Amino acid sequence: MPVSTSAIGKSYDPVVYAVGREKIREYARAVGETSPLCLDVEAARAAGYSDVMAPPMFAVVYSAPAVGPLIFDPEIAINFAMMVHGGQEFVWERPVVAGDEITTTATVNDISENDGRGFYVFESVSDNQRGERVCTATWTNIVRGV
């Protein structure tokens, strides 16, 4: 069955994520991040941040909840049994620190088919509580056997 392209351009409700100090520390420890800026409030403040700074890939934590509805949208109709992760790209604009509230909006950028595979490309745009862009991400999923 060919892929449906009807959802291209569709945006979903924004999701707000309150960034917590302990979440940043837990994430940093889980990925082996040892920078004091991510673990020690005093070190982060001495460096000019208001609180501990999230490692760059913490972007997945605050943006994935906004991307989830796209993946499960029946209009997009992804066959999960045949889906593989195609890739992710991130463009970071400014650091995220504990205490930030990040609002992420996700959009279907493209749905296409090539050589029996479906390509589903989503974009998430994340801004902090001051309206400043913190990250833009592109999420690609590939479905085999479409």
50-91 pLDDT, tens digit per residue, is 999 999 999 999 999 999 999 999 999 999 899 999 999 999
Written as one string, the DSSP assignment of 40-54 is: -HHHHHHTT-SSPBP
Burial 54-89 (b: 16+ CB within 10 A, else e): bbeebbbbbbbebbeebbeeeebbbeeeeeeeeebe
Give the separation between CA 34 and CA 32, rounded to whole angstroms.
Answer: 6
Asked if 86 and 125 touch (Cβ cutoff 8 Å), the reply is no
pLDDT digits (tens, 9 = 90+) for 2-16: 889 999 999 999 999
